[in-house]
Structure 1
Amino acid sequence: MSFFIRKRNKNSAPTKTKSRSSKTSVPGNSQKINTSKLVGSEDEEILSDSDVELGDDVNKRKLADVTSSEDDEETAQEKRLRLAKKYLSQLEEETELGDDDVTGGTVSDRLKEAILEQSGKLRKSVASTYQPPSTDHIRICNGHKLSVTCAVITPDDKFVFTGSKDCTIIKWSVSDGKRLHVIPRLPKETADKNLGHSSHILCLAITTDNKLLASGDKNKLILLWNPSNCQLLHTFTGHRDAISGLSFRRGTHQLFSASLDRSVKIWNADEMAYVETLFGHQDVITGIDSLTRERAVTSGGRDGSIRIWKVIEESQLVFHGHSGSIDCVSLIDEEHFVSGADDNSLAIWSVMKKKPITLVPSAHSGKPDGQKDSENWISSIATLVHTDFLASGSKDGSVRFWECSNNFKNLSQLFSVPVPGFINCLKFSSNGNFLIAAVGQEHRMGRWWHLKQAKNCLYIIRLNKSSG
């Protein structure tokens, strides 16, 4: 049974779709994935496509930006060789220029890192180098009138965009915390023309090339903006309930959207077109994330499941382990991810196992004033991708920083930073130098609790690294 439904809008531009295969290549074995077997015993291992032939995959994904005219008679092998040579030439030029941002000083180091990243095996141990920040390193940015629900950082780490229940989007400068631009709430007289947001903004996403900013609201709309001048580019419609999560696949303009209507939709932002719909969750979807591969991971709230949607194979992997509603999920790399639930637990997962590798039952423990652990559900998670460093947020008045060690089998708290209020969103900068927190007096998905002592604001937390 396929969980994928494709549909093209009559007025949409034609969408280029690649041929899809229902088979996954595993060294020495090629078999069709049967989604009906995904709900077996918890100890059952799941076949992963992390071991696919890297030659084809790396050339398709890592060399996608190195394009040129192709001779009609060029074979697939000749094309791969030509693109590989151009990629090597580009790496050599960067190395000769002495780019400080290049990780690994040689071309071979870059190639090894690219392969490890694509296979999901690139892991950097950096968590132990971080030290608790001082109060001087915490900047509070005020500007929203209601709870800040979501935030994203531009790829160059210079700007931050925040969305709020006040229906506005604000662009901030990271260096001084100043407001640079405000996208206002759409006036009521034009609210039916889909030209802006007139209801709570619940999620944001930005492309890795900084060309597109996507925002989703409670009114079932997805809007695309130009991050540079904050001009509206396009509006996507199609979901039947509020948009709860957005994620651009890295290096592309392919957009995944999650909704309270229990579905995930895929959009082609280059052609401004709808691609397909993915079904499977039995309750509202509360979070979504993606990396380089053509797949997404979602948390299904009270259906108690996390699902990885493998788009090419038209299949999904289902994971169970939390005892409560799973409210947020974030990828660590292509093979591991972390989730948080309203039972105050954090869990680390592998795509090869249906149950958590490790689970911390009381991640945000109660405060001396009598708060119960059950009140401090995990509302947000951030991971520094391809590292052992992550952060979690709740309503207990702090952001907590964690280290994944012993091959993801241990999760230990390093330190915490005081942040009063509902921490609705957390994001690390790409270089790991700072963390942002979207904070509000209310939870982003509802108004059942109001913390008067909190501020509706953005926190920019500078992180300290030891010299060693």
Structure 2
Amino acid sequence: MAATGSFFIRKKRVVEGRGRKRKAEDGEGEVHKKLTTKLNEEISSDSETESVGHNKKDAEELEIEETAQEKKLRLAKLYLEQLRREEEEKAEEEQFESDLIGGRLQEEVLEQKGKLKRLLAKDYVSPDISEIRLLRGHQLPVTCLVVSPDDKYIFSASKDCSIIKWDVSCGKKLHTIHRGHKGTGDRHLGHIFSMAISSDGKYLATGDRNKLILIWNPATCQHLYTFKGHKDAVSGLSFRKGTHQLYSASHDRSVKVWNVDQNAYVETLFGHQDAITGLDSLSRERCVTAGGRDRTVRVWKIVEEAQLVFHGHESSIDCIQLINEEYMISGADDGSLALWTVNKKKPLVTVRTAHGIHGDPGIQQPNWITSVAALLNSDLVASGASSCSHDSKIKLWKCGEGFKSLELLFNIPVVGFVNSLKFSSSGDFLVAGMGQEHRLGRWWRLKEAKNGIYIIPLKKSETKQQPGDSK
């Protein structure tokens, strides 16, 4: 009897439940159908199964015992829970994007102020020597080169008066501008000493021993303009970043400013007491120069019509490069490598005989630093030197904490004079212009060296960059 009574009680519940269910359905109509359909679409089978039960029997009992109102309430709660989770995920994604945008904006502000310092040097490891590529095409030493802003092309120039456009991916020559003929004026007739490309890749500028600056279209390698005005070899060229304003330096001791868009000369700056050997610039309307044997580095403030004079090297300064608007690196023929800030007239640090010495005991000389390069807005710099032997090296350095030290990371063995060095914008590779002779003269010659350019892949350790690596 107990069992029978229990049966009828359950049966009664089922009948009452179904009666109430039909009543509720009649009262709710289409609203309940739409809600149920929406919930069935948006609630996953896993979450529904977890809420109802873990087996079919529990689900059937709950369906039998649950009223229509209770089911509607339960499904509504599940629906709200699903919406809450979606909102939380959306908020997390928006916060992540906001952090990325905030980080980029912070970097842009720091870069504009000239204070962006990405701490990247610690991630680099010594490259595999077998992966270094040598591209040959020039008959005489390579004197200068640039990498296109998109890192797809390299332009190199030589003492043979030619300019070659290279494809980085395959290493093929895409175009060669050969030495010109007397009287034409649209090609170089003298050794090419300097080269620069605008930050948008629209213009390429080259300067030669015959005092001329030629402007080219990098895409087609067609000659556009010729600038005349210097009274000696054009030894340095640089486009102001984000503009088509061109700075040029010469052995005539002057710096000139040009407007390439208007094919116009702007002004001349004087101050160096010897031939200028190197020049660089970034976004600000200013440039820096190395004064050769006058042993000074100068920062030229174009708008203020002023210049800052820096002393530190004890011999001829042959190369200079800006790291950002606040710091710069220079090299001299006494083998010293110096790290500077524009806020102090003396170097922050100087590494003596940075590339070692050569010669017999008693008459040993430091290896001459012939080129420097910097990965823009980072703590990674490179230097190249000349040597009387075949054991020349390219060295990569880390600017230590506060940019108050230079720490050697590793050496890359090469043969010959490292006449030019450039990092790719991405920092994925380094390009070296090599020759049997120094770019500015022929004091000695290394017959075993090859005239060409080395593309050196730069490897990073698998350790990921941690947040806050930019200052």
- Of residues 455, 459, 463, the one that matches 1:464 is 459
- Of residues 305, 308, 312, the one that matches 1:317 is 308
Change (3 A) 1:366 1:109: same
Change (3 A) 1:276 1:132: same
Instruction: Tell me what 1:212 maps to.
Output: 203
Instruction: Tell me what 1:341 maps to.
Output: 332
Structure 1 distance, partners of 2:233, 2:169, is: 33
- Of residues 415, 420, 442, the one that matches 1:425 is 420
- Of residues 119, 131, 143, the one that matches 2:125 is 131
Structure 2 distance, partners of 1:238, 1:222, is: 9
Further displaced range: 395-404 or 261-270:
395-404
1:337-388 Cα shifts (integer Å, max 9, x gaps) = 0110011000011111110100001100136987976341110000001111
Structure 1 distance, partners of 2:98, 2:356, is: 40
- Of residues 304, 319, 324, the one that matches 1:328 is 319
Q: Which is higher, the Rg of structure 1 or of structure 2?
A: 2
Instruction: Tell me what 2:22 maps to.
Output: none
- Of residues 239, 244, 247, the one that matches 2:238 is 247
Instruction: Tell me what 1:41 maps to.
Output: none
Alignment of 1:71-86 (within 5 A): none
1:384-414 Cα shifts (integer Å, max 9, x gaps) = 0111101000013110000001211110111
Instruction: Tell me what 2:169 maps to.
Output: 175
Structure 2 distance, partners of 1:372, 1:159, is: 43
- Are 1:389 and 1:401, in contact at CA under 8 Å, matched by a contact in 2? yes
- Are 1:123 and 1:386, in contact at CA under 8 Å, matched by a contact in 2? yes
Cα deviation for residue 109 of structure 1 reads 2.1
Identity among equivalent pairs (%):
57
Structure 2 distance, partners of 1:239, 1:430, is: 31
Cα deviation for residue 104 of structure 1 reads 9.2
- Are 2:358 and 2:366, in contact at CA under 8 Å, matched by a contact in 1? no
Change (3 A) 1:465 1:218: same
Instruction: Tell me what 2:386 maps to.
Output: 395
Change (3 A) 1:459 1:370: farther
Question: By percentage of residues, which structure has more helix?
Answer: 2
Instruction: Tell me what 2:435 maps to.
Output: 440
Q: CA RMSD in A?
A: 1.7
1:403-428 Cα shifts (integer Å, max 9, x gaps) = 00121111011101111101000000
Alignment of 1:155-234 (within 5 A): 155-187=149-181, 191-234=182-225
Structure 1 distance, partners of 2:199, 2:98, is: 21
Task: State the aligned residue count.
Answer: 364
- Are 1:330 and 1:383, in contact at CA under 8 Å, matched by a contact in 2? yes
Structure 2 distance, partners of 1:105, 1:231, is: 44
- Are 2:137 and 2:452, in contact at CA under 8 Å, matched by a contact in 1? yes
Structure 2 distance, partners of 1:229, 1:427, is: 22
- Are 1:104 and 1:110, in contact at CA under 8 Å, matched by a contact in 2? no
**SS of residue in 2 equivalent to 1:106:** helix
**SS of residue in 1 equivalent to 2:433:** strand
- Are 1:342 and 1:374, in contact at CA under 8 Å, matched by a contact in 2? no
Change (3 A) 1:268 1:372: farther
Structure 2 distance, partners of 1:204, 1:413, is: 28
Instruction: Tell me what 2:411 maps to.
Output: 416
Structure 1 distance, partners of 2:362, 2:398, is: 25
Structure 1 distance, partners of 2:379, 2:421, is: 16
Change (3 A) 1:225 1:433: same
The yes-or-no answer on 1:106 pairing with 2:107 is no
Cα deviation for residue 149 of structure 1 reads 0.2
The normalised TM-score by structure 1 is 0.76
Cα deviation for residue 136 of structure 1 reads 2.4
Structure 2 distance, partners of 1:426, 1:261, is: 24
Structure 2 distance, partners of 1:147, 1:180, is: 20
Change (3 A) 1:404 1:104: farther
Further displaced range: 336-345 or 105-114:
105-114
Structure 2 distance, partners of 1:306, 1:374, is: 23
- Of residues 343, 360, 373, the one that matches 1:382 is 373
The AA in structure 2 aligned to 1:232 is H
Cα deviation for residue 108 of structure 1 reads 2.3
Cα deviation for residue 467 of structure 1 reads 1.1
Instruction: Tell me what 1:450 maps to.
Output: 445
Structure 2 distance, partners of 1:370, 1:175, is: 45
Structure 1 distance, partners of 2:431, 2:364, is: 24
Extract unaligned runs of 5+ from structure 2.
1-92, 464-471
The AA in structure 2 aligned to 1:130 is Y
- Are 1:364 and 1:373, in contact at CA under 8 Å, matched by a contact in 2? no
- Are 2:358 and 2:365, in contact at CA under 8 Å, matched by a contact in 1? no
